Structure 1
């Protein structure tokens, strides 16, 4: 099963500092990362800075289009006003069909604020109980959503990646 895991950190550089831990957990085969990105939000900025981690995951399963859409929905829609927000409502609805619902978006929005950071990881076959403890030691909090095989296939299709055959 694929999961979109969001680790939130109470400090601006927490997500970036946790990248080494994420790589170590992947080497230990406790997590299989298919895509990742992080957000840092300095106190003095109106919006966060985002970074797709293609270098960590290779090409990345979903790429910048997915992260751009997700981060736009989380961080920019509240700033754009009702007219644009209503037009983007359809996009939120389409992400709900792939397991990323409005409640998840609202939860992330509430926790990633100026002065914080977050690490977003799309992963498969995570040994969650073995991953949670090392991240908790960094001060991170866990938000997650699981995607069914159907939702994952829809997400890959929406962002231009062919579905992977079973067993690969």
Structure 2
């Protein structure tokens, strides 16, 4: 089962740096990345830059349209014109089924601000202790996961020590 997580970094390039770590972990078989995207918001800019990480996307990739619509909902970034309004409404309703609801959108909108970045990751089969080790020293905070409460608590516990 794949897990969708959203991680916040306290610098505009933190998520991009983390993607390099993920690339290395995936090449070692320590995590399976199905899809990933980053949001980088430089100080002084009016809106963030977003990008799907095509080089990490696997067979289960969600696709650029998913990420574009999700980031459009969160950051009010214009997507593909007014004709997409109905599709965005339908998508936002279906996202609730996987834990992407108004609370998630509001939290990401409040937390990802100028000078920060975020990594959105669809992954599975992580060797958590090795993944944790690889991220040691990277200052990040888990904003969202679609894991159940016990699984999320374990994930937070695993990564708390990596902040040192």
- For the residues of structure 1 that align with 2:60 and 2:41, how far apart are their CA atoms? 23
* 8 Å Cα contact 1:2-1:147 kept in structure 2: no
- For the residues of structure 1 that align with 2:106 and 2:132, how far apart are their CA atoms? 22
The TM-score, its normalising length taken from structure 1, stands at 0.72
- For the residues of structure 1 that align with 2:12 and 2:89, how far apart are their CA atoms? 29
Which region of structure 1 is more displaced relative to structure 2, 10-19 or 66-75?
A: 10-19
* 8 Å Cα contact 1:40-1:117 kept in structure 2: yes
1:64 partnered with 2:68? no
Residue of structure 1 in register with 2:162 after alignment: none
Residue of structure 1 in register with 2:24 after alignment: 24
Residue of structure 2 in register with 1:49 after alignment: 49
Gapped regions of structure 1 (runs ≥ 5): 80-85, 149-168
Q: How does 1:6-155 map to 2 (within 5 A)?
A: 6-57=6-57, 61-76=61-76, 91-146=91-146
Residue of structure 2 in register with 1:152 after alignment: none
Gapped regions of structure 2 (runs ≥ 5): 79-84, 149-164
Aligned length: 141
Q: Quote how far apart the aligned CAs of 1:75 are.
A: 0.7
Q: Quote how far apart the aligned CAs of 1:15 are.
A: 1.1
Residue of structure 2 in register with 1:151 after alignment: none
Residue of structure 2 in register with 1:160 after alignment: none
Deviation string, structure 1 residues 19-62 (Cα, Å, up to 9, x no partner): 22111221232311011111100111111000111122257611
- For the residues of structure 2 that align with 1:109 and 1:129, how far apart are their CA atoms? 30
Q: Quote how far apart the aligned CAs of 1:147 are.
A: 6.5
- The runs of 4+ residues in structure 1 deviating greater than 6 Å are none
Go from structure 1 to structure 2 and tell me whether the alpha carbon gap of 1:109 and 1:136 turns closer, same or farther (over 3 Å shift). Answer: farther
The TM-score, its normalising length taken from structure 2, stands at 0.73
- For the residues of structure 2 that align with 1:6 and 1:129, how far apart are their CA atoms? 19
* 8 Å Cα contact 2:34-2:56 kept in structure 1: no
- For the residues of structure 1 that align with 2:28 and 2:55, how far apart are their CA atoms? 18
- For the residues of structure 1 that align with 2:42 and 2:13, how far apart are their CA atoms? 9
